[in-house]
Amino acid sequence: MQLPTSPDFTLHGKRALVTGATSGIGLGAATALARAGAHVLCVARGAGPLADLAAAMAREGLSCETLVLDITDIAAMRAALAEADPVDILVNSAGMARHGPALDTTPEDFDAVMNVNLRAAYFLSTAVARRMIEAGLRGSILHVGSQMGHVGGIDRGVYCASKHALEGMVKSMAIEWGPHGVRVNTLCPTFIRTPLGEQTLADPVRRAWIEDKIKLGRVGEVADIMGAVVYLCSDASALVTGTSLLVDGGWTAD
């Protein structure tokens, strides 16, 4: 009997681009990919936090470079990626939330959230995929979505709209780019303890609601998403595209 070959979770020789790389889930993704062997291009809007990240990566002997970029500036984003080497992996963790009752949502709130969570994600995907296809790379594009892209949530009308739309976008792009070997997926976490989530978690009523909905009984930590990122960006998930991996503690099970 010949045993099957195990899938490869390592990323040695791969180039990865991570947006929103200086905090929360983006920081976890950048770290996980670098530790798996990838050279990571860390993208964020702030030069200071990027410098701190580069120094921390260097102390651990990890391979990275940084790029100050606002991905909502489509022209600047396209120009920057056109000048950079093509990447094998994109993890788009940049995101925005303006929570509140739907009746109180302003057009400015709606546009701000959609501009980051959907518009920028769309054109970032196309810019990266174009370079992958031109270079003949069998790449992985991963967007950080949310469990709220699969269900509704209190005071999250605009946020849910953006994340549900992201799921449809990913499915369509996966169909289009599959013949080129480019995979497109979403990673959909529950509430993760990050600077962005602390305001919600600090509210005792919301905290109780969250813990009641998470079947495993606890809020997520950044470490909970790191293995999923490596899986979806590595050849271990070579047949996975056009779908979402829910890291939600069972929130969406009912």
Task: Please spell the DSSP secondary structure of 156-204, one letter per residue.
Answer: BHHHHHHHHHHHHHHHHHHHHHGGGT-EEEEEEE--B-STTTHHHHTSH
CB 18 within 8 A of CB 33: yes
Judge whether 159 counts as a catalytic residue. Answer: yes
User: What is the three-state SS of 104-163?
Assistant: HCCHHHHHHHHHHHHHHHHHHHHHHHHHHHHHCCCCEEEEECCHHHCCCCCCEHHHHHHH
Sheet with 89-92: list strands edge to edge: 64-68, 39-44, 15-19, 89-92, 140-144, 183-189, 244-247
Residue 188 has phi, psi (to 5 degrees) of: -120, 90
Count of H helices and E strands in the chain?
9, 7
Kindly name the residue from 159, 177, 231, 251 that is annotated as catalytic.
159
In this structure, the number of other CB atoms found within 10 A of the CB of residue 62 comes to 19
Task: Tell me which residues are annotated as active site.
Answer: 159
